[in-house]
Amino acid sequence: MTEMVYGAVPERGGEPVIPKWWRTVDKWLIACVLILFGIGLLLGLAASPPLAARNGFAPFHYVERQVIFGLTALVAMAVTSMMSPTLVRRLGILGFLAAFVALLLLPVLGTDFGKGAVRWYSLGFASVQPSEFLKPGFVVLAAWLMSASQQVGGPPGTSWSFVLCAAIVGLLVLQPDFGQACLVLFGWGVMYFVAGAPIFLLVGMAGMVVMGGALAYANSEHFARRIDGFLSAEVDPTTQLGYATNAIREGGLFGVGVGEGQVKWSLPDAHTDFIVAVAAEEYGLVLVLIIIALYALIVVRSLLRLMRERDTFIRLAGTGMAAMFGVQAMINMGVAVRLLPAKGMTLPFVSYGGSSLIAGGIALGMLLAFTRTRPQGDFDALLNRHAR
């Protein structure tokens, strides 16, 4: 009906897939991702040799694996970004179902690698964390359900998506993985807000989250220990937060110099959860600000492009994907500077980790697919054409 009133934006017929993709994709977003991946390799060259030495590997063992994981992630991102939103939705739902089943089987078949939380499947040559692959699939499925509920005579999709979100959060808390649980709940809340949720309902949900945190503090020693460490007036210099805080302080504005940092010799997770501490110590505040600017550019550009999109599913799914991506980066960096309790969450495309990188590539590929310029997908173009 809209096309009948405003007219349709013409599409170039018979155009090859790759030229069409390059013409319609957000090249700034691709450039930001490539720069982040390059920064991750640069920091990996500094942070991973001490860990490789402790584990009896070659000095750049983890960097080489990072290259393999990263190239796989970039290929997955490119392929996914060439798909239509309909195909992304179908594959996202199938991926979610597979990841959800894997999450259910974790208590039976999973392992904790001595970290106290059963989050991974060990494949011998690598490990897989199902929750990383669950997130993009859940965003797609929840957006589809919410958009369906807005149609005349549609199903109660918003309620179904909330039940699904609660089930996922419950499974993640049992691992325990409170960081990923908060991320999933936040992503759902953002999509629900964009879909038109009453503000009082969102405030009520925030209150329930606070109550859930209080219960977790009272019943989970793991959760309570992290909260107590965060709230403590003094930081134990022999803890991960202590090492990271000191490294950031020593780095100053321009850093102590390439390869001169010391935190990588003390932090067991210097190449993953606390990679930003390595960046701050060796390259200073300047590199950290560049990293923050790259994440901000990805999120802001994506949201600006989505604001012009008139398909409800694409708007909701793209917004949820961009919000979760940005908040994950914010949580990782917030933990390193002690603005947030320790969460055990990677920095997207910068930290080492196969599951995180490949799942992040799929998620960014979906976001690129949702933000591509499409015929009849832009309100402004339609209105301007009608005005002429």
pLDDT tens-digit readout, 240-285: 777 788 888 888 888 888 777 778 777 777 778 888 888 888 898 9
Which uninterrupted H or E stretch holds 314?
A: helix 312-336
CA distance 271 to 288: 15
pLDDT in tens, 197-210: 777 777 877 787 78
* pLDDT at position 12: 56
CA 365 vs CA 68, 146, 329, 358, 370: distances in Å: 18, 22, 17, 10, 9
CA distance 208 to 220: 17
- Whether the Cβ atoms of residue 177 and residue 131 lie closer than 8 Å to each other: yes
Least confident range of 222-236, 314-328, 334-348, 352-366:
222-236
pTM, two decimal places: 0.87
Average pLDDT on 375-381 reads 52
pLDDT in tens, 158-178: 889 999 999 999 899 888 888
